[in-house]
């Protein structure tokens, strides 16, 4: 069966760029002089990290972590498995986890706990998209790009069965 086609642009390319610049200003202000570790969550956060890091006028270290993902499905299993770890040590460092989207919050909550166990100076979270109405844990999201309704989205790193990560905008996908 062919994959469903992205239908409606939810966040346009220019809107993403403008919001990334705003987030970068806030992050730069909050972490001035601190050289935080940006921890991008593979694979979905790649475009967001790439844009965010280039908008940051402060020293940062960039690394990536990979948690088990949805695969071709569209709903959270609630289980999180680390399938690739960081190369840098985060002990005594400020850590900012950067992810594409927060839905139930289970993935970010688990990643946060995992990194907090390594005795960093702090762990904060930054997501481009927040499906706020879907939260099942009270994980704090420190920097949010856009709050979106409960629709399945693709583009700007987000995929459906491996497709559409390369779209420069975020679009809704009807998967029913």
49, 95, 97, 103: which one contacts ligand XMP (CB under 6 A)? 103
| Nearer to ligand XMP (CB atom), residue 33 or residue 71 | 71
Length in residues, the chain: 176
Tell me the CA end-to-end span of the chain in Å, nearest whole number: 14
CB of 106 to ligand XMP, least distance (A): 4
Choose among 145, 90, 85, 89: nearest CA to 122.
90
Assigned token pair, 66: 């990979």
CB of 63 to ligand XMP, least distance (A): 17
36, 44, 47, 145: which one contacts ligand XMP (CB under 6 A)? 44
Question: C-alpha angle with apex 41: 114 to 45, nearest 5 degrees?
Answer: 155
The residue annotated as part of the active site, out of 103, 130, 142, 174, is: 103
52, 60, 95, 102: which one contacts ligand XMP (CB under 6 A)? 102
Decide: is 70 part of the binding site for ligand XMP (CB under 6 A).
yes
Give Dmax over CA atoms of the chain in angstroms: 52
Decide: is 69 part of the binding site for ligand XMP (CB under 6 A).
yes
Sheet containing strand 8-11, strands side by side: 8-11, 170-172, 153-154
Region of 11-19, 31-39, 54-62, 152-160 interacting with ligand XMP (CB under 6 A): 152-160
CB of 136 to ligand XMP, least distance (A): 7
Which DSSP string do the residues of 73-106 spell out, in sequence order?
-SS--S---EEE--SS--TTSEEEEEEEEESSSH
Decide: is 51 part of the binding site for ligand XMP (CB under 6 A).
no
Question: What is the number of alpha carbons within 13 Å of residue 116 lying toward its C-beta?
Answer: 10
Q: Is 103 a catalytic residue?
A: yes
152, 156, 167, 170: which one contacts ligand XMP (CB under 6 A)? 152
What residues are annotated to the active site? 103
Q: Where does this chain bind ligand XMP (CB under 6 A)?
A: 44, 69-70, 76, 99-107, 152-154, 158-159
């Amino acid at each position: 069966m062919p994959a469903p086609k992205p239908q409606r642009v939810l966040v346009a390319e220019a809107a993403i760029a403008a919001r990334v610049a705003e987030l970068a200003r806030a992050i730069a202000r909050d972490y001035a002089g601190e050289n935080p570790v940006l921890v991008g969550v593979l694979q979905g956060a790649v475009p967001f990290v790439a844009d965010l890091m280039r908008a940051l006028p402060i020293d940062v270290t960039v690394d990536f972590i990979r948690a088990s993902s949805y695969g071709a499905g569209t709903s959270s299993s609630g289980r999180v498995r680390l399938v690739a770890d960081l190369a840098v040590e985060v002990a005594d460092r400020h850590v900012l986890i950067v992810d594409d989207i927060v839905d139930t919050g289970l993935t970010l909550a688990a990643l946060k706990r995992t990194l907090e166990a390594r005795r960093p100076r702090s762990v904060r979270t930054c997501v481009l998209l927040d499906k706020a109405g879907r939260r099942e844990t009270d994980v704090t999201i420190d920097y949010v790009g856009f709050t979106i309704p409960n629709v399945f989205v693709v583009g700007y790193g987000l995929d459906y069965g491996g497709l559409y990560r390369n779209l420069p905008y975020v679009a809704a996908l009807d998967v029913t």
